[in-house]
């Protein structure tokens, strides 16, 4: 009745048995597996993030007020909604990944349905908050015209919130099975068609900035529809998607115990970077500081997609191997990704330094802004090295199901060290925007060191047993009734 549980829980290393070759061949094989996963995931993440950027670009041609309103609304939506959806969905990295490794394939479909149910209910609560965005921004002293414009824009983005939650669940469902090419392809089709969707809604139908906000929902819904169709018809998902099940309504509390720390782990980091831009408005010459910090944040977000892809790849590899009862393979995957993370971080850092005198021109023709960006780029190059390492180590944490510890790490790193250090450098030592970024680097260093300590002290045999126990306990009600 429980065939998967008859296999050895720990100690088996099928990778060694399959190759029969020296240890070097295992490393090369692991590198290939991770790069195969990371490449399409990096491209898919970049293309998904392009959707909101294109919408804001269209709004930019409608006037300064429309642009500032849309920018504020997008930032508010990211902080209160999209980061929450992405964080909660990341719990599937653990659940689906370990179930797939343990060959409990039917459980992946159950987990996906359960996640969709929970994320939809959470979206209802967030949608109520978004309905009062204008009034909330007024309470925080925002310009009345911008506040009302942002409130209107974000109300038209409410359908996008629900579609985004669905999209994240489908992406994680496929990602944990190492099915990544469809994720990239669907994101590419959506990003290309989004330009046409924006043009039709903004100009052809005359909806203006409301049309740009609604376009996000149309494109996210198109993306998730493509993935849902693929899951339904593809032979690769035949054993993992067996249709709707009442079991999705069971054990929601256990799911929330993992989903909430997963959301906190993502949101605590995301919010700290957004807070930098808000703090820049309190500095001398706030227009210059806010512009430069926004450009730095945009640059960091762009480069972050590369380590994010590596982090997603290692969470899949670790969760699959632990679920399959192969702790040594999970340990090897972790060591490989640490080296890849360091290499990509250093490479990106060197590229940033080499283009430091030119990068500012991509955003502004003002000499003051360009020169300030040139001074900031070496700091960004240092931060991306530590950000790269923490991102892959966070992927290991998700693969093991240690999100609660990860959330505590992020809380300590950013809110006990990073933000206080940023305030000290910026306002006590009067280093301005550079001081704010110095503080965030301090937070990144602490975060990376804590995650590294957790990873190095991980008992992989114990984590493999915990993975088997998690999968078994979740599927027990179904097995007992069969």
For residue 121, tell me if it sits in a domain: yes
Q: Looking at residue 232, what is its pLDDT?
A: 94
Total of domains in the chain: 2
Residue 41 lies in a domain: yes
Lowest mean per-residue pLDDT among 122-126, 240-244, 373-377: 240-244
Q: Is residue 429 part of a domain?
A: yes
- SS3 labels along 364-405: CCCHHHHHHHHHHHHHHHHHHHHHHHHHHHHHHHHHHCCHHH
For the residues 356-383, what does the mean pLDDT come to? 89
Closest CA to 363 of 307, 431, 293: 293
The angle subtended at Cα 374 by Cα 371 and Cα 376, nearest 5°, is 115
Stronger pLDDT, 54 or 5, i.e. the higher one: 54
Report the alpha-carbon distance of residue 10 to residue 208 in Å, rounded: 59
Is the pLDDT at 75 greater than 60, yes or no?
A: yes
Domain match, 76 and 156 both: yes
Cβ within 8 Å of residue 365, ≥6 positions away: none
Q: Which of 30-44, 56-70, 87-101, 330-344 has the lowest mean pLDDT?
A: 56-70
* Residues 246 and 262 reside in one and the same domain: no
- Asked whether the beta carbons of 351 and 343 are under 8 A apart, the reply is no
Average pLDDT over residues 208-230: 93
Round to whole Å and give the CA distance between 137 and 154.
12
> What is the extent of the structural domain holding 283?
258-475
Among candidate residues 250, 267, 288, the one where a domain is terminated: 250
Residue at 22 is within a domain: no
The verdict on 279 and 246 lying in the same domain is: no
| Radius of gyration over every alpha carbon of the chain, rounded to an integer in angstroms | 23
What pLDDT is recorded for position 5? 35
In a domain, 437, yes or no: yes
Q: Give the chain's count of helices (H) and strands (E).
A: 19, 0
- The answer to whether residue 2 sits within a structural domain is no
285 in the same domain as 241: no
The tokens for 96 are: 């689906």
Please give the mean pLDDT across all residues of the chain: 87
Is the predicted pLDDT of residue 8 greater than 80, yes or no?
no
Single out the residue of 91, 158, 87, 76 nearest to residue 125, CA to CA: 158
Q: So what's the pLDDT on residue 24?
A: 58
Q: Are residues 189 and 85 in the same domain?
A: yes
Most confident of 52-61, 225-234, 251-260, 353-362: 225-234
Give the closest residue to 313 by CA, choosing from 77, 100, 35. 35
**What is the rounded distance in angstroms from the CA atom of residue 385 to the CA atom of residue 380?**
9
Q: How many CB atoms lie within 10 A of CB 433?
A: 27
237 shares its domain with 326: no
Pair 45, 190 in one domain? yes
Give per-residue pLDDT as tens, 131-145. 999 899 888 777 788
Q: Is residue 480 part of a domain?
A: no
| C-beta separation of 264 from 87 below 8 A | yes
281/177 same-domain check: no
Are 298 and 273 contacting, i.e. CB atoms less than 8 angstroms apart? Answer: no
- pLDDT tens for 179-210 read 999 999 999 999 999 999 999 999 988 888 89
Looking at the fold, whether 242 and 384 belong to one and the same domain comes out as no
Q: What is the pLDDT of residues 91-126, one digit of tens each?
A: 999 999 999 999 999 999 999 999 999 999 999 999
What is the rounded CA–CA span in Å between residue 344 and residue 349?
A: 8
Can you give the pLDDT at residue 23?
52
User: Measured between alpha carbons, how far is 206 from 187 in angstroms, rounded to an integer?
Assistant: 26
In sequence order, what E strands does 297-353 have?
A: none
Q: Are residues 240 and 308 in the same domain?
A: no
* pLDDT exceeds cutoff 70 at 454: yes
Determine the straight-line distance between the first and last CA of the chain, rounded to whole angstroms. Answer: 8
Matching residue, tokens 């995650």: 451
Q: How far apart are CA 191 and CA 474, in angstroms?
A: 37
Last residue of a domain, one of 198, 227, 250: 250
Let me know whether 293 and 270 are in one domain: yes
| Same domain, residue pair 233 and 264 | no
CB neighbour list of residue 7: distance below 8 Å, 6 or more residues apart? 325
Phi, psi of 284 (to 5 degrees): -65, 145
Name the band, by pLDDT with cuts 50, 70 and 90, for residue 285.
confident
**Token digits for 238?**
């035949």
Q: Which of 196, 221, 250 is the last residue of a domain?
A: 250
Nearest to 194 by CA among 39, 47, 45: 47
Q: DSSP assignment, residue 38?
A: H
What pLDDT is attached to residue 56?
A: 75
pLDDT of residue 6: 35
3 state DSSP class of 438: helix
């Amino acid at each position: 009745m429980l065939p998967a549980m008859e296999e050895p829980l720990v100690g088996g290393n099928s990778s060694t048995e399959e190759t029969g070759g020296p240890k070097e061949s295992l490393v090369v094989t692991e590198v290939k597996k991770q790069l195969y996963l990371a490449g399409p995931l990096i491209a898919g993440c970049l293309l998904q993030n392009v959707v909101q950027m294109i919408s804001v670009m269209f709004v930019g041609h409608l006037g300064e007020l429309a642009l500032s309103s849309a920018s504020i609304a997008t930032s508010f939506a990211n902080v209160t909604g999209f980061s929450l959806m992405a964080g909660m969905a990341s719990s599937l990295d653990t659940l689906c990944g370990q179930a797939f490794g343990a060959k409990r394939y039917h459980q992946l479909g159950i987990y996906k349905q359960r996640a969709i149910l929970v994320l939809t209910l959470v979206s209802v609560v967030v949608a109520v908050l978004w309905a009062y965005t204008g009034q909330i921004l007024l309470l925080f002293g925002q310009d009345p015209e911008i506040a009302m414009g942002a409130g209107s824009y974000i109300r038209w983005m409410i359908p996008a919130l629900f579609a985004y939650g669905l999209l994240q669940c489908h992406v994680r469902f496929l990602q944990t099975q190492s099915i990544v090419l469809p994720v990239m392809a669907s994101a590419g089709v959506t990003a290309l068609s989004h330009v046409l969707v924006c043009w039709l809604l903004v100009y052809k139908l005359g909806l203006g900035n409301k049309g740009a906000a609604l376009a996000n929902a149309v494109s996210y819904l198109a993306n998730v529809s493509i993935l849902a169709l693929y899951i339904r018809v593809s032979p690769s998902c035949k054993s993992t998607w067996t249709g709707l099940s009442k079991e999705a309504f069971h054990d929601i509390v256990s799911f929330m115990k993992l989903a909430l720390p997963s959301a906190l782990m993502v949101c605590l980091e995301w919010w700290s970077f957004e807070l930098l831009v808000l703090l820049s408005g309190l500095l001398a010459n706030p227009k210059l500081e806010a512009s430069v910090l926004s450009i730095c944040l945009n640059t960091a977000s762009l480069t972050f997609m590369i380590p994010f892809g590596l982090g997603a790849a290692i969470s899949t590899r670790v969760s699959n191997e632990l679920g399959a009862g192969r702790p040594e393979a999970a340990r090897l995957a972790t060591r490989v990704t640490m080296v890849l993370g360091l290499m990509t971080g250093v490479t990106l850092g060197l590229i940033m330094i080499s283009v430091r005198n030119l990068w500012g021109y991509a955003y502004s023709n003002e000499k003051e802004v360009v020169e300030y960006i040139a001074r900031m780029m070496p700091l960004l190059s240092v931060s991306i090295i530590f950000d790269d390492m923490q991102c892959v180590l966070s992927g290991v944490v998700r693969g093991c199901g240690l999100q609660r510890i990860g959330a505590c790490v992020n809380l300590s790193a950013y809110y006990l060290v990073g933000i206080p250090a940023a305030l000290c450098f910026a306002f006590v030592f009067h280093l301005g925007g550079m001081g704010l970024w110095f503080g965030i680097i301090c937070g990144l260093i602490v975060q990376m060191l804590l995650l590294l300590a957790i990873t190095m002290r991980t008992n992989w045999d114990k984590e493999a047993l915990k993975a088997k126990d998690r999968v078994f306990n979740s599927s027990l009600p179904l097995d007992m009734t069969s």
